[in-house]
Amino acid sequence: MPTNARAFAAASATSPLAAASIQRRDPTPTDVAIDILYCGICHSDLHTVRNEWASVMPTMYPCVPGHEIIGRVSRVGPNVKGFKPGDLAGVGCLVDSDGSCPCCKDHLEQFCPAAVFTYNGADKHLGGHTYGGYSDSIVVDQRFALRIPKNLDPAGAAPLLCAGITTYSPLRRAAVGKGKKVGVVGLGGLGHMGVKLARAMGAHVVAFTTSPSKKEDALRLGAHEVVVSRDANQMQAHAGSFDFILDTVSADHDLNAYLGLLRLSGNLTLVGAPEKPLPVSSFALLFGNKSLSGSLIGGLKQTQEMLDFCGQHNITSDVEIIPIQKVNEAYERLLRSDVKYRFCIDMASLKNG
């Protein structure tokens, strides 16, 4: 018998999130049931709630977002290995995949044709669609539960499950490390993790921000230099010098300005997913054999690797912990780039309705 869970849901693209009751399945023999302690607020939650990605991934309502989940294991099925009641566990953007296709065999479950996202995916157990972490509990197959290093603060670790892996994966692909000059564009949830991780990997890190007030913080977070991107002179000073730039911006902006900052054969990788297409000048790529790429979260094996890396380097997200009743206000602040640097919901507040 499925059980009822408390959650916050949006009833339509124009409705605020509000208290709702949803169902969670009974654990199967390979399932882990988790009581959620914290859930980070990703800008993807906002894009999805407001159906801004309608042309690619239309939103199904009611929508319960949340894919930066940390909680305590409450129950495990009899075939579960590696988790027991009381353990801390994490869940990121994925809750299922076929486990046998070439992508799954390559540990790239996010590209499996049967991949199921934590929210707004097809729920093969209960029918309908999946509900995310703005809720007091979740049930997932053990393959999608992650181990959280004991030395990390649980609230600060929650954002690692999306913001962490989404920045770690392309930084690794670009072999970022000592001797590499790396730019991180946008100092929000993803961007501040990108700065911390690139610094821990040994690169020379430059943060690009539209918010002059974030300059001091960018240095504290690990950037060696900060560029206010609306200042053309500051941008020009770095022309042709970057090996790699990671673009985390959630809204419309000029990519060509950043392509101009890459050195010969440099790469700009997009992880930000603005609602509207971004125009690219072919000349900005042709001169210098430059490349433009994208990157989608990361597979489960690499997510565990990232968590362990963060454990070793003592890296967590800088979080502003909020009660769930403030989630709609937090969304408005995200749109104003007023986040330092990830909102994280204390799920105990769900009891207050």
Binding residues (CB under 6 A) for ligand NAP: these are: 42-44, 47, 162, 166, 186-191, 209-211, 214, 248-253, 271-274, 295-297, 334, 337, 339
Beta carbon of residue 339, minimum distance to ligand NAP (angstroms, whole number): 5
Among 33, 36, 39, 42, binds Zn ion (CB under 5 A): 42
Beta carbon of residue 82, minimum distance to ligand NAP (angstroms, whole number): 25
User: Does 88 engage in binding with Zn ion (CB under 5 A)?
Assistant: no
Nearer to ligand NAP among residue 161 and residue 203 (C-beta) = 161
Q: Candidates 41-49, 50-58, 213-221, 252-260 — which segment interacts with Zn ion by CB under 5 A? A: 41-49
Query: Taking CB under 5 A as the criterion, which residues in 4-33 touch Zn ion?
Result: none
| Residue with the two structure tokens 């392509």 | 259
Q: Candidates 84-92, 162-170, 203-211, 254-262 — which segment interacts with Zn ion by CB under 5 A? A: 162-170
Nearer to ligand NAP among residue 54 and residue 251 (C-beta) = 251
Beta carbon of residue 76, minimum distance to Zn ion (angstroms, whole number): 26
d(CA 1, CA 147): 28
Q: For the range 18-27, what are the long-range contacts, defined as Cβ-Cβ under 8 Å and sequence gap of 24 or more?
A: 19/350, 19/353, 20/62, 20/64, 22/62, 22/64, 22/131, 22/135, 23/126, 24/135, 24/137, 24/138, 24/139, 25/125, 25/126, 25/139, 26/1, 26/2, 26/139, 27/75, 27/76, 27/77, 27/139
Give how many residues touch Zn ion by CB under 5 A.
3
Beta-carbon neighbour count of residue 39 at 10 Å? 32
Residue 133: name the closest of 142, 149, 152, 120 by CA. Answer: 120
Q: Which does 339 bind (CB under 5 to 8 A by kind): Zn ion, ligand NAP, none?
A: ligand NAP
Beta carbon of residue 162, minimum distance to Zn ion (angstroms, whole number): 3
Nearer to ligand NAP among residue 164 and residue 311 (C-beta) = 164
Q: Which does 104 bind (CB under 5 to 8 A by kind): ligand NAP, Zn ion, none?
A: none
User: Does 190 engage in binding with Zn ion (CB under 5 A)?
Assistant: no
Q: Which does 199 bind (CB under 5 to 8 A by kind): ligand NAP, Zn ion, none?
A: none
Beta carbon of residue 348, minimum distance to ligand NAP (angstroms, whole number): 23
DSSP 80-93: --S--TT-EEEE-S
**163-173 and 300-313 helices cross at what angle (nearest 10)?**
100
Return the C-alpha torsion angle 122, 99, 68, 200, nearest 10. -150
Question: Could you give phi then psi for residue 9, rounded to 5 degrees?
Answer: -135, 155
Cβ-closest position to ligand NAP? 188
Contacts of 115 (CB under 8 A, 6+ apart): 94, 96, 97, 109, 121
Query: Taking CB under 5 A as the criterion, which residues in 44-63 touch Zn ion?
Result: 44
Query: Taking CB under 5 A as the criterion, which residues in 118-137 touch Zn ion?
Result: none
DSSP 48-70: HHTTTTTTTSPPPSSB-----EE
Helix (H, G, I), strand (E, B) or coil at 135: strand
User: Does 334 engage in binding with Zn ion (CB under 5 A)?
Assistant: no
Q: Which does 251 bind (CB under 5 to 8 A by kind): ligand NAP, Zn ion, none?
A: ligand NAP
β-pairing, 225-228 vs 146-147, is: unpaired
Q: Name the residues that contact Zn ion, by CB under 5 A.
A: 42, 44, 162
